[in-house]
Amino acid sequence: MALLQAQKALQEIEDTLLKKEGDITNQVNKSKKTQDIPTLQKIQDTLHNYKNEINDLLNSAYDQRDNVLEVKKKMNDCELPVNINMRANEIDQFREKLERIIEDFKDLKQADEDFDGSSDSEAEIKTLIHQIEKKVQEFQQELQEFNRYQKGTLGKYTRQDFLDDNNAPIIVDVREFKAKIGDAFARLKDIETLTNDLNSKLIIQDIENATKLLEVKNKKLRERLEIAKTELSKINKCGDEMDGNCSRNEEEEFIEALKDEMPEVFKNIEGNFEQIDKVDQIIIEIKTTKSIEMMQTLKVEIDDASIKVEQCEGLVNKLENEIIEWDALKKLCRRDEELEEIDHLLKDFQNDLETETSQMYPKLDQNTKKLELSTAAPDIEDFTKLVEGIKEYIGDVEKLQREVCDLLEEKDDCYEEFDNDVPRIVKKERDIRRKQKALIMTPSRRKSQK
């Protein structure tokens, strides 16, 4: 690994330097105490050799520094902005799931209020509701803490912090925060189990009330499935637009996987809608027949549909995270930088061509005059060739100038379109980049050569 190699090489350089430094000081001190010319010349030769050796060490140290800086360049911001965005998305997913559970819980509480069961079952239900309410409060508090940490701590880090050598603690913070969110998300399962338990208890109490509850649940499942389908369609469209425009292998693999798997996913979603339609039919039948067997079938179908809808939502979350990892902002900034680079190159080229034409026209005049003044046949022939050559050259240069102008216009149009579409943050990054470029100074290095 480059860094470990550099570390080892620098240690060796330091060891060698320590040995040499003492010898050099000795030689210099010795030169001050003697006037003997052969001795002085010997010291001079020795120091000359040391100079070359130290110079080699210095160049070797600079090489190691280049290697380290190359690694640093590759590490860039260590994907920290992307990972922080991922955390925001994970919090969002957590919030959505919690809100859905709270919504379901409200329906269940309403169902409980609508029916008076036996005092035993009511007591059990009330205990369960109390437990769920307590847990909901805890989760809501946890969500607030997540938001506070995301905005207050992670949100306050700047690009400079991400690029800093000592950014390891930020990586740890972001990773530990992921674990916290993941843990809370997993614990939502407990509250879901409690609400399912409450649901079952309410169903046992009253078949009519239960049918109503399951009808509401089925309606919500349909809504959730429709949202998931819309999100997946968006992701699929995004994949189509990205096809052929990927900048990394992972993205290409993702697009290929999308192309292969999405038709099957959409087919499954249609199957899920059919299942939800079937549940609606069962509910209608139960309302007239009040059949206990049908009620059991209904429960099984609803539970199965719930799992499938959750799988769809899980897929949406997973794919959304993958798209966040693409880091669209960085891509836009890169395109912006490339447009700027094109602008600089074209303007440099244009200046070169202008200099060339401004130098060639006087030469053309000069040689045309010489041709006019020439009387000897060989002179006339030579000057004619020269004048024709210069004219041809000027013609080529002017053709290039026109092409460069066309390219500049094309670039301006492209830039205008791009600039209108990109978010403000890309323009902000552009300003920062320009300021940094203006600050870059030529490093003084390798000035001492052998």
- Residues at the site binding other proteins, with contacts judged by CB under 8 A: 3-4, 6-7, 10, 13-14, 17, 21, 24, 28, 31, 35, 37, 40-41, 43-44, 47-48, 50-51, 54-55, 57-58, 61-62, 64-65, 68, 71-72, 75, 78-79, 83, 86, 165-168, 171-172, 174-175, 178, 250, 318, 321, 448
CB of 28 to other proteins, least distance (A): 5
CB of 1 to other proteins, least distance (A): 9
| Residue among 96, 102, 118, 114 nearest 316 (CA) | 96
Exposure letters 306-338 (e unless 16+ CB within 10 A, then b) = bebbbebbebbbebbeebbbbbebbebbeebee
Place of tokens 């035993």: 120
Q: Is 155 or 395 the residue whose CB approaches other proteins more closely?
A: 155
Q: How far is Cα 108 from Cα 125, in angstroms, rounded to an integer?
A: 10
Query: Residue 10 class from Cβ within 10 Å (0-12 exposed, 13-18 middle, 19+ buried)?
Result: middle
Q: Is 76 or 289 the residue whose CB approaches other proteins more closely?
A: 76
Q: Is 86 or 214 the residue whose CB approaches other proteins more closely?
A: 86
CB of 32 to other proteins, least distance (A): 8
Side chain identity at 66, as an amino acid letter?
Answer: D
Q: Is 288 or 444 the residue whose CB approaches other proteins more closely?
A: 444
CB of 171 to other proteins, least distance (A): 4
Q: How far is Cα 215 from Cα 209, in angstroms, rounded to an integer?
A: 10
Count of Cβ atoms closer than 10 Å to residue 121 Cβ: 15
Query: Residue 340 class from Cβ within 10 Å (0-12 exposed, 13-18 middle, 19+ buried)?
Result: middle
69-72-76 Cα angle (round to 5): 140
CB of 270 to other proteins, least distance (A): 28
Query: Residue 376 class from Cβ within 10 Å (0-12 exposed, 13-18 middle, 19+ buried)?
Result: exposed
Q: How far is Cα 339 from Cα 416, in angstroms, rounded to an integer?
A: 11
Q: Is 70 or 381 the residue whose CB approaches other proteins more closely?
A: 70
Q: Is 312 or 404 the residue whose CB approaches other proteins more closely?
A: 312
CB of 353 to other proteins, least distance (A): 42
Q: Is 83 or 218 the residue whose CB approaches other proteins more closely?
A: 83
CB of 374 to other proteins, least distance (A): 59
Q: Is 70 or 354 the residue whose CB approaches other proteins more closely?
A: 70
The alpha-carbon radius of gyration of the chain (Å, integer) is: 38
DSSP 296-344: HHHHHHHHHHHHHHHHHHHHHHHHHHHHHHT-HHHHHHHHHHHHHHHHH
CB of 11 to other proteins, least distance (A): 8
CB of 166 to other proteins, least distance (A): 5
CB of 63 to other proteins, least distance (A): 10
Tokens of 115: 């029916």
Q: Is-contact 295 286, C-beta < 8 A?
A: yes
Q: Is 249 or 420 the residue whose CB approaches other proteins more closely?
A: 249
Q: Is 378 or 443 the residue whose CB approaches other proteins more closely?
A: 443
Specify the DSSP class assigned to residue 164. S
Would you mind telling me the total number of residues written for the chain in this entry?
450
Region for residue 118 given its phi and psi (left: phi exceeds 0; alpha: psi -120 to 50; beta: otherwise): beta
